[in-house]
Amino acid sequence: MNMQLSAPLAPLMSERRVGLLGAMLAAIGPVSMALFTPAMPELVHAFGTTEAAVKMTLSLYFAGFAIAQLVCGPLSDGFGRKPVTFAFLGIYLVASLLALLAPDIELLIAARFLQGVGAAVGIAISRAMVRDLFTRESSARIMNLIGLILGIGPAVSPTLGGITMEIAGWHAIFLVMFAAAVIMMLIIHLRMVETVQRDLSRIRPKALAKSYRSLLTSPYFVLASLITAGSVGAIYTQATVLPFILMDRVGLTPTQFGLGMLMQSGMFLIGSLAVRQLLSTVSAFRLVPVGLGMVVIGDAALVAGLHLHEPTFLLVMGPVGFLAFGIAFIMPAMTTAALAPFPHMAGAAASMNGFFQMGGGLVGGMVCALIAEPVTAMAMVIPAMGLIAVLSWLAWSRLPEPAMGQPKA
């Protein structure tokens, strides 16, 4: 008898490769957001428009990202991860070129919406790819690695965006995005291995409706997704107000703003490194309440600081950095938890989970725009999102654990 036949097959890709590819894909959305933010106040003058119109370039980016999340994941369940990744990166490539050539704010808003659509593939495919091959603690380790590398991109992006804008103008920021899309498509072609079999029955309207109905009627999935929506969504919401607080109210230049944003992304990176060390001895799920506790402390400091004093860099970014550090403790376990019970529709689950996160950023950004005054908006909306995350975790932690499917060999 050949004993090798009974041995489990190795995964199609190693944990490291999946983590690196997943981080690259997941980073395109946050990096495209962060790279652009230093230019937002300048665009008010460049197009002779209003702050509200410029904020729409970010809000519509979130809208495109959130809506496309519901499409690209299920499409990848049917057509395969790799071809869908190429298709959406192609949309992102064209949108970056349109933004580069935009003659007015209306076309720029439309181009940013399309960029969001194209960038949506990153989070959906990276998480679905992890779920295709790994689960439980292995999945949490990869999610942490994705978060670790993901922290580097947004950490340097505002700085790169600010320096690029001051040297070559805001148009050059979109040239950087265009070049990044070309490089990513080459890497996907050379290094990504398909992890699912083509099965068009998965994307039939009835099958898709059934998948989303199963997800949205699962308290385990919905509450886990609300935890990440309230935490990661807060980071996306902050992107709509921090440029105006730090540059218009505090008085930072675009380059200083970019460097200052290192406090947010840098703290997320440090938190991810700390989690990576702890995962060797502590379950990822035991780290979630620790992270939520940090979020509560950061939110309290933000409310107190902005209500009692005129905003300064440290009063704003100190609590923001603390929030980011805590969120790094939340993400690996809760992303794994949301996807783990659904191996048969990992793309749809990853898409809906991403929709919750970007939807949180979209709703938070829209509420901030309605409040209009950025300091007041920051002090009200961000703590409210943290409260949603905490309440969702209290409810989620009392649910029985569902059966977990096994990853593909």
Q: What is the pLDDT of residues 145-164, one digit of tens each?
A: 776 666 666 667 777 888 88
Identify the residue whose tokens are 């944003």.
261
The reply to whether 104 falls in a domain is yes
Q: Is residue 390's pLDDT more than 90?
A: yes
Determine the Cα–Cα distance for residues 155 and 153; give it in Å rounded to an integer: 5
Confidence of residue 185 (pLDDT cuts 50, 70, 90): very high
Q: Is residue 5's pLDDT more than 50?
A: no
Q: What is the pLDDT of residue 137?
A: 67
Confidence of residue 42 (pLDDT cuts 50, 70, 90): confident
Which of 206 and 387 is assigned the larger pLDDT? 387
Determine the Cα–Cα distance for residues 329 and 34; give it in Å rounded to an integer: 22
Determine the Cα–Cα distance for residues 201 and 39; give it in Å rounded to an integer: 44
Q: What is the CATH number of the domain that holds 390?
A: 1.20.1250.20
The reply to whether 350 falls in a domain is yes
Q: State the average pLDDT over residues 73-92.
A: 90
**pLDDT, the chain, mean:** 84
Which of 155 and 187 is assigned the larger pLDDT? 187
Determine the Cα–Cα distance for residues 295 and 302; give it in Å rounded to an integer: 10
Q: Is residue 109's pLDDT more than 80?
A: yes
Determine the Cα–Cα distance for residues 146 and 137; give it in Å rounded to an integer: 14
Determine the Cα–Cα distance for residues 240 and 237; give it in Å rounded to an integer: 6
Q: State the average pLDDT over residues 28-54.
A: 83
Q: Is residue 55's pLDDT more than 50?
A: yes
Determine the Cα–Cα distance for residues 292 and 269; give it in Å rounded to an integer: 17
Identify the residue whose tokens are 């989690």.
275
Which of 159 and 87 is assigned the larger pLDDT? 87
The reply to whether 359 falls in a domain is yes
The reply to whether 2 falls in a domain is no
Q: What is the pLDDT of residues 366-389, one digit of tens each?
A: 888 888 788 898 999 999 999 999
Name the domain count of the chain: 1
The reply to whether 117 falls in a domain is yes
Q: State the average pLDDT over residues 297-309.
A: 89
Q: What is the pLDDT of residue 403?
A: 58
The reply to whether 229 falls in a domain is yes
Confidence of residue 404 (pLDDT cuts 50, 70, 90): low
Q: What is the pLDDT of residue 56?
A: 84
Burial 109-118 (b: 16+ CB within 10 A, else e): bbbbbbbbbb
Q: 351 is in which domain, residue-wise? A: 14-194+205-396
Confidence of residue 294 (pLDDT cuts 50, 70, 90): very high
The reply to whether 3 falls in a domain is no
How buried is residue 402: exposed, middle or buried, by Cβ count under 10 Å (0-12/13-18/19+)?
middle
Confidence of residue 40 (pLDDT cuts 50, 70, 90): confident
Tokens of 56: 């729409």
Long-range contacts of 180-187 (CB under 8 A, 24+ apart): 180/28, 180/31, 181/28, 181/89, 181/92, 181/93, 181/96, 181/118, 182/93, 184/24, 184/25, 184/28, 184/89, 185/86, 185/89, 185/90, 185/93, 187/21, 187/24
Which of 86 and 132 is assigned the larger pLDDT? 86
Confidence of residue 136 (pLDDT cuts 50, 70, 90): low
Determine the Cα–Cα distance for residues 46 and 251; give it in Å rounded to an integer: 19
Q: Is residue 409's pLDDT more than 50?
A: no
Residues in contact with 173: Cβ distance below 8 Å, sequence separation at least 6, in sequence order: 35, 36, 39, 161, 164, 165
Q: What is the pLDDT of residue 166?
A: 82
Percent of the chain with pLDDT over 90: 28
Which of 225 and 369 is assigned the larger pLDDT? 225
Q: State the average pLDDT over residues 199-205.
A: 78
Amino acid at 18: V
What's the Cα-to-Cα distance from 204 to each of 66, 71, 117, rounded to whole Å? Answer: 21, 12, 21
The reply to whether 401 falls in a domain is no
Q: What is the pLDDT of residues 340-372, one digit of tens each?
A: 788 777 777 877 887 888 788 878 888 888 887
Q: 121: closest CA among 146, 92, 158, 159? A: 92
Q: What is the DSSP letter of 204?
A: S
Tokens of 403: 């059966």
- Taking the CB of residue 137, how many other CB atoms lie within 10 A of it? 15
Q: What is the pLDDT of residues 239-258, one digit of tens each?
A: 778 888 998 888 888 778 87
Residue 334 · residue 327 · CB < 8 Å: no
- Taking the CB of residue 50, how many other CB atoms lie within 10 A of it? 11
Q: 393: closest CA among 225, 212, 214? A: 225
Q: State the average pLDDT over residues 303-313.
A: 88
